Amino acid sequence: MTTFDDRENAYENKFAHDAELQFKADARCNKMLGVWAADLLGKTGPAAADYISSVVTADFEEAGHEDVYRKLAADLDGKADEAAIRAKMAECMLEARRQVLEEI
């Protein structure tokens, strides 16, 4: 194997590793958002768990986080405005990344 092949493999491995970490952080962020929103909606027990799961799966509708925002905005109508939802999304993403990086 040449140095070029080694370098190419290293970049590919780093890309795959970074993508995996981002996926974990996104999923964890969405779970935190689901917990927050379930609390605002007064959901507890199995209803809260189902709602949290629905927030996590909402992220698979399209690339990016707008699909999660739209779900939260529709569900939290009157309980949280756009600024509050987006601020919570940013807060949860920072926390999720911190937690994922601590696990490495």
CA 85 to mean position of chain CA atoms: 13
pLDDT in tens, 21-36: 999 999 999 999 999 9
pLDDT score, position 1: 62
């974990």: which residue's tokens?
Answer: 24
Here the tokens at position 88 are: 């919570």
For a pLDDT cut of 90, what percent of the chain falls above it? 76
Name which of 87, 90, 86, 96 is nearest 29 in CA terms.
96
Burial of 55 (0-12, 13-18, 19+ CB in 10 A): buried
Segment 70-75 shows an average pLDDT of 97
Segment 46-51 shows an average pLDDT of 97
Segment 40-58 shows an average pLDDT of 97
